[in-house]
Amino acid sequence: MAEHREKHVEVEPRDEAQQEPDVDPLIAATVAYLDEIRRDALAGDAVSPLKQYEMLQSRALLAAATAGSAEEWASAVARGLCVTRTMRGTNARLRDLVAAVQEQAKAQGVSVRRATSRWLNQVHREIGYIIALLMLAAERRRERYERNF
């Protein structure tokens, strides 16, 4: 299964949420990270495919309530999903998320800590939207995959 996953990852574009008009770059980075960690969880049989989005939502909300940084949030989500090994794409998406929080802080003229707090509050308020974008990205990828094979 891991070979199939790796092969599939190479042919698809990243950051599906950024293809949606008017998606906040920080939300897009959040969706991109959640998409990668979701795939890691599915590849490791840590998450039931039938409950994957429900689990992602609950883990993301719990992590948003307890984390103090994007790195802590991502680690808490991964731990909550029982992901013990992440793929290279997940690590890259985490770096993108951290960079997006830092860019937001710079753009708003606030500390990274303050920007992180605002982002975590946004995750809490907009989790339904985030999960919807995540589901849309997965559906588009599945459609592209089916067209190619």
Q: What pLDDT score does 127 carry? A: 98
Contact 76, 62 (CB under 8 A): yes
Burial state string for 22-56 with b = 16 or more CB within 10 A and e = fewer than 16: ebbbbbbbbbbbbbbbbbbbbbbebbeeeebbebb
The predicted pLDDT at position 46 comes to: 77
Amino acid code (one letter) for 31:
V
Q: Give the predicted TM-score (pTM) of the model.
A: 0.84
> Tens of pLDDT along 85-129?
888 999 999 999 999 999 999 999 999 999 999 999 999 999 999
Maximum Cα–Cα distance across the chain = 48
